[in-house]
Chain A
Amino acid sequence: MSEQKIIEIEVLRYLPESDQAPHSEVYKVPFTDDMSVLQGVQYIKDNFDGSLTFRWSCRMAICGSCGMMINGVPKLSCETFIRDYYPRRISVEALDNFPIEKDLVVDLSGFIEKLEAIQPYIIPKEPRTVEQGEYIQTPAQFAEYIQYTSCINCMLCYAACPHTGLDPDFVGPGAMALLHRYNMDSRDGGQAQRMELAASEDGVFVCGATGYCSEVCPKKVDPGNAVNINKINAAKDYFLRFLSPKGGAK
């Protein structure tokens, strides 16, 4: 049997009841090649310090709970492997651009409010009764938005977005991707309502097109593209109102 390998994992700890500010602690964790960073952190909790706090659930990049800054890069810790860092030290920190609640757990309330604000549900163009039957959609219409349905709300894109950090009210890439998903749905008629938020001061124009959000997205949703397409859409809405009757007034 091969010799047991040990990796150093440096965790940014923050205990709100006793700490004024976060501090780092280093743990020496024995690992095997099939171990993820999440399993490394779980090893620390089980063997060194039971108070270490972090979110996780599915362990297979579906639930979107275990996002962390791993060596400064936002990643799902369940699909990031210790072997890829060994023998270097791994640093683990709570997702950037969110307030730290405790250790690796961030305060999600701002994100949840943004999700609610974009009305992430179909607002039917014409409400149909059960007797009228289902809403029909062609494969081509489905293809328009399918990519944006893959979002798992892991918030890695927010941790990657410096504009979110600088302006915490920015709707942000993930919520904009969902906004775009519903706007692109042929069954939906809520675009005008949603575009008010997209075109507002907290909307798409806060984005400086850094593009790192799309880079880190584990589901290839390309939220940065959703944000930037809606810059064009918001600009179109702005200029086309000069051509429409009553200046686009409702």
Chain B
Amino acid sequence: MSKRRPYVRSMDGWWKKNPFYVEYMIHEGTALFVAAYAIVLTVGLVCLGQGEAAWNGWLEAMQSPLSIIFHLVLLVAIAYHAFTWFKLFPLTMPPIVLNGKKMEPCAIVGAGWTAGVVAALALFVIVWGIAA
């Protein structure tokens, strides 16, 4: 008779065992803050569709101290999410070959950041132009 009795270790609390996993869980968790901000903006859009009074009400709600604190928390969480999201580029993207050489991970992350910042600035300039 076999004396084998393989022991399976529990996965309880696995993400606390390694700083790498903690970072991963915070990264995944902060995605909820991105979703929360999307909901805030969607509510604004719905209010805009409902007319001037609803829109002004939303603008006023955005200026309350509680809303400003909430937005500061969102900013920190989303900044962390963005930072760790760009860091994942070399893992998730197919290799990019330039002049027969594979692009270095730091160059991929740098290019991602550059594209992100340029896109954000372009959007800002366009919206600023329309508003003016």
CB of A51 to closest CB in B, whole Å: 14
Cβ-based interface call for A189 (8 A): no
Chain B positions 70-112 with a Cβ under 8 Å from a chain A Cβ: 88, 90-95, 100
CB of B53 to closest CB in A, whole Å: 44
Cβ-based interface call for B11 (8 A): yes
Chain B residues lying within 8 Å of A210, measured Cβ to Cβ, are 20-21, 24
Chain B residues lying within 8 Å of A232, measured Cβ to Cβ, are 94
Q: CB < 8 Å: which of A100, A224, A225, A231 contacts B9?
A: A100
Contact size range, A: 20 to 34
Cβ-based interface call for A165 (8 A): yes
Chain B residues lying within 8 Å of A133, measured Cβ to Cβ, are none
Q: What's the Cα separation between A14 and B93 when bound, in Å? A: 41
Interface size, chain B (Cβ < 8 Å) = 24
Q: CB < 8 Å: which of B11, B18, B95 contacts A212?
A: B18
Q: CB < 8 Å: which of B4, B8, B88 contacts A211?
A: B88
Cβ-based interface call for A107 (8 A): yes
Closest residue to A19 on the B side, CB-wise? B7
Q: What's the Cα separation between A16 and B2 when bound, in Å? A: 11
Annotate B14-57 by CB proximity to A: 1 below 8 A, 0 otherwise: 11011011001000100000000000000000000000000000
Cβ-based interface call for A17 (8 A): yes
Cβ-based interface call for A99 (8 A): yes
Q: CB < 8 Å: which of A17, A96, A140, A215 contacts B20?
A: A215
Q: CB < 8 Å: which of B18, B28, B91 contacts A214?
A: B91
Chain B residues lying within 8 Å of A228, measured Cβ to Cβ, are 91-93
CB of B9 to closest CB in A, whole Å: 7
Q: What's the Cα separation between A27 and B121 when bound, in Å? A: 60
Chain A residues lying within 8 Å of B100, measured Cβ to Cβ, are 140
Check A166/B11 contact, CB under 8 A, given A101-B4, A208-B28, A212-B20.
yes
Cβ-based interface call for A120 (8 A): no
CB of B52 to closest CB in A, whole Å: 43
Cβ-based interface call for A6 (8 A): no
Chain B residues lying within 8 Å of A14, measured Cβ to Cβ, are 7
Please tell me if the beta carbons of A209 and B88 are within 8 angstroms of each other in the complex: yes
Cβ-based interface call for B129 (8 A): no
Please tell me if the beta carbons of B90 and A162 are within 8 angstroms of each other in the complex: no
Cβ-based interface call for A192 (8 A): no
Q: What's the Cα separation between A73 and B17 when bound, in Å? A: 10
Chain A residues lying within 8 Å of B65, measured Cβ to Cβ, are none
Chain B residues lying within 8 Å of A208, measured Cβ to Cβ, are 24, 28
Chain A residues lying within 8 Å of B8, measured Cβ to Cβ, are 99-100
Check A100/B6 contact, CB under 8 A, given A166-B11, A210-B20.
yes
Check A162/B11 contact, CB under 8 A, given A72-B18, A209-B88, A209-B92.
yes
Chain A positions 111-170 with a Cβ under 8 Å from a chain B Cβ: 140, 162, 165-166
Sample of 18 more A-B contacts, CB < 8 Å, known A72-B17, A210-B20, A225-B91:
A14-B7, A16-B3, A16-B4, A16-B5, A17-B5, A21-B7, A22-B7, A140-B100, A208-B28, A209-B88, A211-B88, A212-B18, A212-B20, A215-B20, A222-B91, A224-B91, A225-B95, A229-B94
26 A-B pairs, CB-CB below 8 angstroms? A16-B3, A16-B5, A16-B6, A16-B7, A17-B3, A21-B7, A22-B7, A72-B17, A96-B9, A99-B6, A99-B8, A100-B7, A100-B8, A107-B6, A165-B11, A208-B28, A211-B88, A211-B91, A212-B24, A214-B91, A215-B20, A224-B91, A225-B91, A228-B91, A228-B92, A229-B94
**4 A-B pairs closest in CB distance:** A99-B6, A16-B5, A228-B92, A100-B7
